[in-house]
Amino acid sequence: MSDWGDILSNVYSITSIILAAGEGKRMHSKVPKVLHKVCGKPMVEHVINCAREISGEEPIVVIGHGAEQVRKEISGVRYVMQENQLGTGHAVMQAEKYIIDGDILILYGDTPLLRSEVLMEMYGMHRDEGCSATILTSDMEDPTGYGRIVRTGDKLVEAIVEDKDADSDTKRIKEINSGIYFFNGKELKGALRNLKNDNTQGEYYLTDVIGIMRRKGLKIGAFKTNNTEDIMGINNRYQLSTANKIMQSRITKKLMLDGVTIIDPDSTYIEPSVIVEKDVTINPGCILEGDTVIQEDSVIGPYTRIKDGKIGRGVSIQNSVVLESSIGEGTSVGPYSYIRPGNKIGKHARIGDFVEMKNSNFGDNSKASHLTYVGDGDVGNNVNLGCGVVFVNYDGKNKYRTYIGDNSFVGCNVNLIAPVRVNENTYVAAGTTVTKDVPKDSLAIGRAKQDNKEGWVTERKNK
């Protein structure tokens, strides 16, 4: 939460109501619209976070369509049910018991790009001018589909007219309703009780409360923003992708201004929860998700996906996938490594091409340079795993662990049949299938003796 949020919520109490009960027909989806994700988070969650930053109170979320799914995904809010979706005004009425005399902020769940800075400025105006309602508006090049702000000769806001109810003159108005409002709770409650549904869609429009309040002689404000991105409503998947792009460019821009080199922001996807320290370089084609942290001087990519990864300083990861694992300082990974969940990889280690690792500890200065599977392993420090080493961790029913002690050398093409321990300072000869523990300081060799049949090729030719 920003300092401003703290100050505001200490001084004023703002009750925020977020409308999220609609189906979102234009998404053509089983998933309710507000749960579709923008940069890894359901769009309504972005709106909720924005509300939290300004109000400090638990937001009220009106749900209806897909209510159970929404409840499951989002917590820390107060839910209100709207059984039948009879319009945005009807949705707000469902939250009537929460509408007290103080300030009410109303937001729609499908505007994920909204930033709290905009709300704070708008709230300042709402209070300074003593308005009973303040609408966030904007001039749109193409206002089709939005409600229009109708003003009287003296420029005062008179009403909002929905696109579907607008005559051709009204349709020409470029100033639109964003669906974001501050209200005085008492006046809002009164106006809601006077709503009618005598319009094209037969719905109770929240927008009609503006006309009702105006006719009562109350003061209506309009806070106009030039930044149409902030108020963009998402109704279909094309707009969803546009919103993703815009949020991505905000995230990558902020990181770059904070000292991260991003070679090609357009091909980089970073979720808002990811922390990237300064002097990290991110090459093209990277996807950084979840609770990933990347420390200073690391070089990520090209073409790398990291989800919930803790990446130490000066690590290099190329063309690889890293999931729920930590990688120590100075280690290099890839190209083409697959680091599955549950690994703790030490410092200055090397995980090379076509190495797969899962649920393993891998010590400092240890190497698996190529074509190796490390599954359920505990590998010490200064260990070398040769090309083609396989940790045979699964017998068809259960998984077992393999231990390799410090300073051991495991030759190429060795199978380690778990559970098994290869103790400190050992050598395992190439091609060995290790089925029993190897004592420390010894050599394990387990393979058929080679037999050379001299002259065999010539003899066969002569037959």
What is the CA 29 to chain-centroid distance, rounded? 20
Beta-bridge partners for 134 = 182, 221
Residues 146-165 that bind ligand UD1 (CB under 6 A): 146-147, 160, 162
Binding window for Ca ion (CB under 5 A); candidates: 62-70, 108-116, 187-195, 448-456: 108-116
**Tokens linked to 61:** 């979320």
**Any contact of residue 110 with ligand UD1 (CB under 6 A)?**
yes
- When binding is defined by CB under 6 A, the residue of 42, 56, 179, 334 that contacts ligand UD1 is 179
CA distance 374 to 358: 6
Comparing CB distances to ligand UD1, the nearer of 47 and 349 is: 47
Comparing CB distances to ligand UD1, the nearer of 23 and 258 is: 23
Comparing CB distances to ligand UD1, the nearer of 143 and 411 is: 143
Do β-strands 14-20 and 41-42 pair in parallel, antiparallel, or remain unpaired? unpaired
Do β-strands 37-38 and 14-20 pair in parallel, antiparallel, or remain unpaired? unpaired
Q: Residue 322 CB, nearest distance to Ca ion (Å)?
A: 38
How many CB atoms lie under 10 A from the CB of residue 375?
Answer: 21
Q: Which amino acid is at 23?
A: E
**Any contact of residue 335 with Ca ion (CB under 5 A)?**
no
**Tokens linked to 340:** 């599955």
- When binding is defined by CB under 6 A, the residue of 233, 284, 335, 431 that contacts ligand UD1 is 233
**Any contact of residue 407 with ligand UD1 (CB under 6 A)?**
no
**Any contact of residue 408 with ligand UD1 (CB under 6 A)?**
no
What is the CB-side half-sphere exposure of residue 140 using CA atoms within 13 A?
A: 23
Binding window for Ca ion (CB under 5 A); candidates: 226-234, 361-369, 440-448, 452-460: 226-234
Buried b (16+ CB within 10 A) or exposed e, 253-290: eebeeeebebeebeebbbbeebebbeebebbebbbbbe
CA distance 439 to 299: 40
CA distance 12 to 55: 8
How many CB atoms lie under 10 A from the CB of residue 100?
Answer: 12
Distances (CA, A) of 420 to 302, 342, 352, 416, 427: 37, 20, 24, 7, 15
- At residue 207, the 3 state secondary structure works out as coil
- When binding is defined by CB under 6 A, the residue of 8, 54, 77, 86 that contacts ligand UD1 is 86
Q: Residue 85 CB, nearest distance to ligand UD1 (Å)?
A: 3
Comparing CB distances to ligand UD1, the nearer of 159 and 333 is: 159
Residue in the structure block whose two tokens are 């709300």: 119
Binding window for ligand UD1 (CB under 6 A); candidates: 16-24, 35-43, 124-132, 412-420: 16-24
- When binding is defined by CB under 6 A, the residue of 36, 41, 90, 305 that contacts ligand UD1 is 90
Q: Which amino acid is at 152?
A: T
**Any contact of residue 108 with ligand UD1 (CB under 6 A)?**
yes
Residues 187-206 that bind ligand UD1 (CB under 6 A): 205-206
Q: Which amino acid is at 178?
A: S
Of 36, 46, 90, 370, the catalytic one is 370
Binding window for ligand UD1 (CB under 6 A); candidates: 20-28, 378-386, 399-407, 435-443: 20-28
Length of the chain: 463
Distances (CA, A) of 118 to 55, 74, 137, 364, 381: 13, 24, 11, 49, 53
Q: Residue 201 CB, nearest distance to Ca ion (Å)?
A: 13
User: Would you say 58 and 77 are in contact if contact means Cβ atoms under 8 Å apart?
Assistant: yes
How deeply is 429 buried, as exposed, middle or buried, from its count of CB atoms within 10 A (0-12, 13-18, 19+)? middle
**Any contact of residue 82 with ligand UD1 (CB under 6 A)?**
yes
- When binding is defined by CB under 6 A, the residue of 15, 16, 207, 393 that contacts ligand UD1 is 207
User: Would you say 35 and 65 are in contact if contact means Cβ atoms under 8 Å apart?
Assistant: no
- When binding is defined by CB under 5 A, the residue of 190, 233, 302, 335 that contacts Ca ion is 233
Q: From the list ligand UD1, Ca ion, none, pick the one residue 22 interacts with, judged by a Cβ distance below 5 to 8 Å according to partner type.
A: ligand UD1
Task: Assess whether 126 carries a catalytic annotation.
Answer: no
Binding window for ligand UD1 (CB under 6 A); candidates: 114-122, 174-182, 267-275, 451-459: 174-182
Q: From the list ligand UD1, Ca ion, none, pick the one residue 207 interacts with, judged by a Cβ distance below 5 to 8 Å according to partner type.
A: ligand UD1
Which residues are known to be catalytic?
370
List of residues contacting Ca ion (CB under 5 A)? 110, 233
List of residues contacting ligand UD1 (CB under 6 A)? 19-22, 62, 82, 85-88, 90-91, 108-110, 146-147, 160, 162, 176-179, 205-207, 233
